[in-house]
Copies of this chain bind each other. A is one copy, B any other.
Amino acid sequence: MTEEEVRRRPGGRGARVRQAVLDAAVDALVEHGVTGFSFADVAARAEVNETSVYRRWRTRENLITDALLAVSDRRVPVPDTGSVREDLYAFATLVVEYLNSPLGGALARAAVITVEDPELAAAREEFWRSRIRSAGVMIERGVARGELRAGTNPRLALEALIAPLHSRALLTREPLDEDLPRALADLVLDGLGARDGGRAATA
Contact = CB atoms under 8 A, between A and B. Distances in A.
A197 B25 CA distance: 46
A77 interface: no
Interface in A106-163: 109, 111-112, 114, 121, 124-125, 128-129, 139, 142, 146-149, 152-153, 156-157, 159-160, 162-163
> For the complex formed by this chain, how many copies does it contain in all?
2
Q: How large is the interface on A (under 10, 10 to 19, 20 to 34, 35 or more residues)?
A: 35 or more
Interface string A58-70: 0000000000000
Interface of A: 33, 83-85, 109, 111-112, 114, 121, 124-125, 128-129, 139, 142, 146-149, 152-153, 156-157, 159-160, 162-164, 166-168, 170-174, 179, 182-184, 186-196, 198-203
Name the 4 nearest CB pairs between A and B, nearest first: A191-B191, A186-B201, A183-B203, A163-B163
